Amino acid sequence: MSKLSHTVSQDPRDPEFVQDPYDFYAEMHRLSPVFYWREYGMWAVAGYDQVNALLRDRRLGRENRWGAPLNPVEGRGHLGDFDRIESGSLLEREPPAHTRLRTLVNRAFVSRSVERLRPRIHALAHDLVDALPAGQPFDLLSEFATPIPVTVICELLGVPVERGDDLLGWSHAMCEMYVPQRSRETEERANLAASAFGAFLTAHIDEHRHTKADDLLSALIAVRDTGEKLSDEELISTCVLLLNAGHEATVHQTGNAVKTLLEQDGDPRRFVATPEATTASIEEALRFGAPLHMFTRYAYEPVDLGPVTLKPGKQVALLLGAANRDPSAFEAPDEFRPGRADQKNVTFGAGLHFCIGAPLARLELQESLSVLFERLPTLQMDGVPRYRDSFHFHGLEQLKLSSRDAGATA
């Protein structure tokens, strides 16, 4: 089949699409789950089974082995600091470099059970509810959803929590590099953020080398300093990735999940009434309102997508949000059904690049939503929430809520 016969035009910045991409996904599931997305200039895959398989397919990878410029006219000279951090990132590497980096991070991160963080997250959620204004609307994202993952990842790494606003600003600027049709100004802002982020971490790495604190940054330094090949650039890139990934997606997922739960009829406490109910609700929220909707891969070998064979060097867009709503994989995919028998979302990816922070993200969601709805069961939305102008990261601009419950302070 020809590319032309499967070409689809959908502006990813179109306001209606940004607010609700699921109608478009449903149409693609019906017409062609594999299609050429004109605005991105690449093939896209929307079906669950194929997305899940391609995430695990070693003929595809994140690493750009051809060094194609971001902008053929301007090149990448203005993105030197950003590229230095990205080049050492676990997310952008493939074996054997990825295997070595992931093994080192696993030793310092995954081997330390995140379960021990549960009491801290639980207490932090209560503190944040205590600080909410009594009888007044508040923004869940800024006053509850953001402080939890930012505080936790800062404490885990061993960097000052009071620098959280700086970390958020740098992270947001760097993540803007992944939105479509970005401007030169956006790129320069991301490069400045990468430079500041790198300088901040360099200073703390030097400080931690002498303090030998019991935190993740010290553990990563120790791994490198015992000769296990974690370079300065890789150490900084790893910390940037953990700080960015440690809050960006979780904030969006928290907002999306609370919005979804409040849109259901009845008492929201039923979704967190037991540990089993909480787990089921969180997993369905991850499927129903994923925070990341597109993840790209490069083809290293020819890959048959059905309508086309992807040639080496070409990118393919794997649509995680669409895969999670595939009617051939999920019964009534547009219905929110905690505990569904066909739960198998790809929100955290799959295969080699499965999200290393998934256990921590799940734990933060479980504790934060349990505390929120137990303390404030009469929560309701004030107005209609809107999603940010960013297709890749599907998250709300803000989520204005109010509650009649006691527990918040004036």
pLDDT tens profile 169-193: 998 899 888 776 788 899 999 999 9
Q: Tell me the average pLDDT across 92-103.
A: 85
Q: Dump pLDDT digits (tens) for 313-358.
A: 999 999 999 999 999 999 999 999 999 999 999 999 999 999 888 8
> Which pLDDT score is estimated for 404?
84
In 121-168, which ranges are E strands? 138-139
Do residues 346 and 48 make contact, with C-beta atoms less than 8 angstroms apart?
yes
The three-state secondary structure class of 295 is strand
**In the predicted model, is pLDDT for residue 362 greater than 70?**
yes
Contact 204, 92 (CB under 8 A): no
Between 54 and 210, the higher pLDDT residue: 54
CA distance 203 to 190: 20
Coil, helix or strand at residue 109: coil
pLDDT at 25 over 60: yes
Tell me the pLDDT tens digit for each residue of 259-284: 999 999 899 999 999 999 999 999 99
Chain-centre distance of CA 198, in angstroms? 21
Which of 290, 284, 291, 381 has the alpha carbon at shortest distance from 336? 284
121 with 148: CB under 8 angstroms? Answer: yes
Give the chain's mean pLDDT.
89
Res 69 pLDDT > 70: no
Angstrom distance (rounded) from CA 77 to CA 75: 6
Q: From CA 82, how far away is CA 62, in angstroms rounded? A: 17
For the record, the structure tokens of 33 come out as 């789950």
Contact 376, 405 (CB under 8 A): yes
Residue 268 in 3-state DSSP? helix
pLDDT band at 5 (very low <50, low <70, confident <90, very high): confident
Task: Enter the tokens of residue 359.
Answer: 């256990």
E-assigned strands of 10-92? 34-37, 42-45, 60-61
CA distance 177 to 379: 35
119 contacts: CB under 8 Å, gap ≥ 6? none
Count CB atoms within 10 A of the CB of residue 38: 13
SS3 percent helix, strand, coil of the chain, rounded to 5, is 55, 10, 35
Q: Are 87 and 237 in contact (CB under 8 A)?
A: yes
Are the C-beta atoms of residues 369 and 378 closer than 8 Å to each other? no
Using pLDDT thresholds of 50, 70 and 90, give the confidence band for residue 158.
confident
Residues whose CB falls within 8 Å of the CB of residue 233, separated by 6 or more in sequence, listed in order? 84, 85, 87, 88
- What topology does CATH give the domain 4-402? Cytochrome p450 (1.10.630)
- The answer, as to whether pTM is greater than 0.85, is yes
Q: How far apart are CA 243 and CA 239, in angstroms?
A: 6
Q: Taking a C-beta distance cutoff of 8 angstroms, is the pair 176, 190 a contact?
A: yes
**Residue 325 near residue 26, CB atoms below 8 Å:** yes
* Per-residue pLDDT at 203 exceeds 50: yes
Q: What's the CA gap between 95 and 352, in Å, rounded?
A: 9
CB-CB contact of 260 with 282 (8 Å): no
